[in-house]
Amino acid sequence: MKAIIFGSPGSGKGTQAVILSEYLKLKKISLGDILREEVKKESDLGKEVKSFVEKGILVSDELVSRVIEENIKIDNFLLDGYPRNLKQAQHLEKTLEKNDKKLDFLIYLDIDEKAVEDRLSQRRVCKLCGANFHLENMPSKEEGVCDICDGELIQRKDDTPEVIKKRWEIFSNESKSILEFYTGKLKIIKVNANEDKDSIFSDIKEQLQ
């Protein structure tokens, strides 16, 4: 089984990708995780990525497509964070065809802009292990300290109001063409991502069945 989880920043893709990959026994391929790891290692790729991320600008299509191509040479996976625009979707389809593979479904987490602003502006991330927390919905036991590794919780540079707005605008402009591209090609599962994570997962499971 090969699938995509698709939605705007703050729609809960990362959370649902973890739950779904375990539930469906799929390898989770998160573009964001891969790129952040490269930034952490301060590799050449990481340095290139960092300049994009801090400005809220998407990393170049050529670069991310190359990264993804190296990670989808398996039979069962869930793609999180890719494709983000029509060009990437077209490249992904060509890559899969070249390897005699085909996507089975796309899960679309539909959310409104206000919910995205609320979620991202209050998100905090562990500086050491990368675990996610939320000041209201999922706070750490001790303020500013990670429950998992006791690392410092920080606000990502792309979670500031100005960058959140820019990321939302980019997604809004690109999402329509991606959904149109996949309509008729594979099953699209659309869920209301304004709900809590358990409700979203239940909705996805119900539609998968």
Whether 124 is catalytic is no
To the question of pTM greater than 0.85 for the whole model, the response is no
Helix (H) or strand (E) holding 124: strand 123-126
Q: Annotated catalytic residue: which of 2, 28, 123, 124?
A: 123
Query: Does 127 qualify as catalytic in the annotation?
Result: no
Supply 180's token pair.
Answer: 């149109």
Per residue in 138-172, pLDDT (tens digit) is: 899 999 999 999 999 999 888 888 889 998 998 99
What's the Cα-to-Cα distance from 116 to each of 141, 144, 151, 202, 207, rounded to whole Å?
24, 22, 25, 21, 24
Domains of the chain and CATH, by start: 2-112+163-208 (3.40.50.300)
Catalytic residue (one of 2, 36, 124, 167): 167
Cis amide linkage into residue 83, ω under 30° from 0: yes
What interhelical angle do 86-98 and 161-182 show, nearest 10? 50
Q: What six digits make up the tokens of 81?
A: 């964070």
Q: Looking at residue 199, what is its pLDDT?
A: 95
- Considering the candidates 156, 166, 190, 205, report the single residue annotated as catalytic: 156
Residue 167 catalytic?
yes
8 Å CB contact between 84 and 32: no
Question: Residue 126: what pLDDT?
Answer: 93
Nearest to 178 by CA among 103, 97, 106: 106
Examine the pLDDT at 66 and tell me if it is beyond 90.
Answer: no
Is residue 66 flagged as an active site residue? no
Dihedral sign of CA atoms 153, 154, 158, 164 in order? positive
**119 is known as an active-site residue:** no
Q: Pick from 83, 153, 168, 173: which is nearest to 118 by CA?
A: 168
Of residues 21, 13, 18, the one with CA closest to residue 74: 21
Q: Which of 2, 13, 28, 119 is catalytic?
A: 13
Q: How many CB atoms lie within 10 A of CB 208?
A: 14
What is the mean pLDDT of the segment spanning 85-99?
A: 92
Q: Which candidate in 2, 36, 84, 124 is catalytic?
A: 84
Q: Which helix (H) or strand (E) holds 178?
A: helix 161-182
Instruction: Give the least confident one: 38-42, 175-179, 180-184.
Output: 38-42
